[in-house]
Amino acid sequence: MQYGMIINLDRCVGCHACAVACRAEWEVPVEFARNWVRRLGPANTPHGLAATYYPGLCNHCTHPACVDVCPADTEMVTFKDAKTGKTKTMEVAATWKDPFNGTVQIDKKRCLGCGACADACPYGARYVNPDLADDDSDGKADKCTYCMPRVEAGLQPACVQTCLAEARIFGDLDDPGSEVSKYVKKGAVGLTSKNVQIGPNSRYFGNKKDMALLMTQAPQEMPEASSRRSMLAGLLKPARKQAKSLALAGIAGTLLVKSLQEQEKE
Is residue 14 included in any domain, yes or no? yes
How buried is residue 222: exposed, middle or buried, by Cβ count under 10 Å (0-12/13-18/19+)? middle
Is residue 244 included in any domain, yes or no? no
DSSP per-residue letters across 167-229:
-EEEEETT-TTSHHHHHHHHT-B-S-BTTB-S--SEEEE--HHHHHHHGGGS-SSPPPTTSHH
CA pair distance 188, 170, nearest whole angstrom: 13
Is residue 222 included in any domain, yes or no? no
Whether 97 contacts 103, CB under 8 Å: yes
Under the banding of pLDDT at 50, 70 and 90, the label for residue 264 is very low
Name the residue among 164, 182, 160 with its Cα closest to residue 173.
Answer: 182
Exposure b/e, 111-120, CB count within 10 A at least 16 = b: bbbbbbbbbb
pLDDT score of 259 more than 70: no
Is residue 240 included in any domain, yes or no? no
What CATH number is given to the structural domain containing 195? 3.30.70.20
Is residue 206 included in any domain, yes or no? yes
Is residue 88 included in any domain, yes or no? yes
For position 162, what pLDDT does the model report?
97
Mean pLDDT of 210-230: 83
Mean pLDDT of 99-126: 96
For the ranges 152-156, 179-183, 248-252, which has the lowest average pLDDT? 248-252
> What mean pLDDT value characterizes the chain?
89
pLDDT score of 126 more than 80: yes
Name the residue among 107, 109, 108, 121 with its Cα closest to residue 69.
Answer: 121
Whether 79 contacts 90, CB under 8 Å: yes
pLDDT score of 265 more than 70: no
pLDDT score of 128 more than 80: yes
For position 127, what pLDDT does the model report?
97
Is residue 101 included in any domain, yes or no? yes
For position 136, what pLDDT does the model report?
85
Q: How many domains does the chain have?
A: 1
What is the residue range of 166's domain?
3-217
Is residue 100 included in any domain, yes or no? yes
Considering the entire predicted model, what is its pTM?
A: 0.85
Q: How far from chain centre, in Å, is Cα 209?
A: 29
